Amino acid sequence: MRIKETSRFITVGVVILSAVTIACALVSRQFRTMQEVAYATRLEALRMADQLADGSDRLTAAVRAYAATGERTYLDDFQRELKVDRTRDKAVERLNQMALTASELSLLKEAKRNSDNLVSLENRAFEAAGKKDLSTAVVLVYGEQYRKAKASIMQPISECRRSLETRLTTEAENLALRAKVLTNIALVTLLATVAATIAALLLFYRKRVVNPLTALNQSLHDLLAHKPGVTIPHQQDQSEIGEVARSLESYRRAADEGEAQRRAKTTLAEIASRLQTADAPEEFARRLMSKLVPVLQGLCGAFFLLDEAAQRFRFIGGYSYPKRDDLDWSFAMGQGIVGQCGKEKKTITLTDIPPNYINTISELIEVAPRAIVVVPVLSRERVLGVMEIASFAPLTDQQNALLEEVVNTAALNLEVLLRNLKTRELLDQARTTEERTRPILEPTPEGATSTVA
């Protein structure tokens, strides 16, 4: 999966989890607030119910005290509570604002109605007490009728109070439960967000981004420093990292090819320079093979010059070989891989050579090679010689290209050397012939000369 898409997926996931966490926290807070409001409403509703009962009790206390004593003060207390303080009326008004249920409103109205009805009985007691008929007043406020009327007030208030307490307590508990559930959900999503973030940092960004970028950066530094054997990691990755890695690999190959070409040109120039100053085929072969074999990372090499008169390839020099006089280091045209290479005028490459394989190279060294390449040295389709190189591994494409260039250069220089040697040989022969045919001058009397053939 590509880094951009994965990063977008992780970002969306973290954002969603964070949004759920925040939403749950906010809703949970709202439920907590509603719970607090529910508890406050419950307390106020209970207080109003108690206030309604207390207002009725204050009226009862005032009328009973007046009936028993006839003192004007209790009558004033009664009238102040009934008309000024209005404790009952205020309690009912506040309760009506609290969205009571139908049954609670019915109980509340019943209590208020019975309380108002009781006032008429209390007024009769006040009238009797005002006429100094205290015994009648006392009977009215302490009698069975009054107690029943009083109970008809307190019972609805008590039932309404229990209903309010039960209902509002249940609502508060439900809100508390919802808040708790949402808080737990918020906690779970928060932990999931943290886990997802840590997993993304450690498993994705660290493993898929940071570490690969660090490795690629190190490889780039090594490339710029021209360190040998630099490898580019993560090339198989199908993400943007893989694209960068493959781009770096292309750059590395281009740089290696450029460096290989530079080294090849340098090697060719050095070999050409060395070969141009060789004055004998043996020196030519030694200089060529001593420079070429190490460059190709070969094990050893041999150069065979074609004896045109005998049509045999004769070993004239090489690199890293022992001098053994017991070997016949010459091959007829078509004999062995050397002769076969010269006959076909084509390069012969042998790989996966068995340990018991015997050829010229194998007899020259103690360690069995794993690959042998035999190359004809041609000048205008004319065979001049054959080169045989052994190594522990087949030559690479770059090494084969270099070998081809070197063979072409060697062929030109070898042809020039052989031509020069032929010319020199002809000059020597001509000089010898001239010396043999030069006339002999003998002195004669009186300064005369005579010629004797």
pLDDT of residue 361: 53
Q: Are 388 and 351 in contact (CB under 8 A)?
A: no
- Type and span of the H or E element at 227: none
Cross-strand bridge partners of residue 387: 303, 375
- Which stretches of the chain score pLDDT less than 70? 1, 322-328, 355-367, 438-453
**Which amino acid is located at 271 in the chain?**
I
pLDDT of residue 366: 59
Residue 394 per-residue DSSP state: P
- Determine the Cα–Cα distance for residues 134 and 70; give it in Å rounded to an integer: 7
Number of Cβ within a 10 Å radius of residue 287: 22
Q: All domains of the chain, ordered by start, with CATH?
A: 3-197 (1.20.120), 261-436 (3.30.450.40)
356: left (phi over 0), alpha (psi -120 to 50) or beta: alpha
Question: Token digits for 126?
Answer: 């006040």
Which long-range CB contacts under 8 A does 341-346 form with residues at least 24 apart? 341/374, 341/375, 341/376, 341/386, 342/304, 342/306, 342/313, 342/376, 342/383, 342/385, 342/386, 344/376, 345/376, 345/378, 345/381, 345/383, 346/376
Structure pTM?
0.53
- Determine the Cα–Cα distance for residues 414 and 141; give it in Å rounded to an integer: 150
Cross-strand bridge partners of residue 313: 306, 331
Q: Are 443 and 449 in contact (CB under 8 A)?
A: yes
pLDDT of residue 355: 65
Q: Convert the pLDDT of each residue in 127-143 to its tens digit.
A: 877 777 778 878 778 88
Q: Which residues contact 196 (CB under 8 A, 6 or more apart)?
A: 10, 13, 14, 17
Radius of gyration of the chain (CA): 61
